[in-house]
Amino acid sequence: METKYLSCAETAKLVRAALKKNFPGVKFSVRSSVYSGGASIDVSWVLGPTTREVDTVASQFESANFDGSIDMETRYDHWLLSDGSAIVKHGPGTEGSMGNIPAVSNPMPPGAMPVSFGAHYVQCQRRYADQWEGETTLINQVAVDMCKLKASRGMVQT
């Protein structure tokens, strides 16, 4: 089966659809950028899910990874699944070059299509609104965020 090459804009559409599916009711700004030597997607939103939660969904559409220990980028091909999500098909990693990123190879899942995403990286950034309808909104969101952070670090007391 031949690999389908997707542009950065086509990849951004997949990111937007996955975010809408995973975080209904949250309005995301998804912008693609193509530049000399690569392409990227920037995702931003106001309040709602944490950056870590959104990054978990959006990062599955990245076609590259960077190993800072050896200053080397590595590329990935993916399987696009029928539900709109993606998993890595193949990536050489950097361990063969004395780096820290392991090679990845996954067999074809049923109904999957081989793709090469047009964006190297997807950056996610949550924002706090400049103007508030009331202070309570911000206080409640910060409280929710602190609880999630404590739970993720095993600091919740019972």
**65 and 93: one domain?**
yes
Q: CA–CA separation, 16 vs 28, rounded Å?
A: 7
Q: CA–CA separation, 55 vs 137, rounded Å?
A: 23
Q: CA–CA separation, 11 vs 32, rounded Å?
A: 9
Question: Which domain covers residue 86, as residue numbers?
Answer: 4-127
**63 and 136: one domain?**
no
Total domains in the chain come to 2
pLDDT by residue, tens only, the chain of 158 residues: 799 999 999 999 999 999 999 999 899 999 999 998 889 999 999 888 889 999 999 999 999 999 999 999 999 999 999 999 999 999 999 999 999 999 999 999 999 999 999 999 999 998 876 665 556 666 666 777 777 766 766 655 54
Main-chain phi, psi angles of 51, to 5 degrees = -60, -40
Report helix, strand or coil for 99. Answer: coil
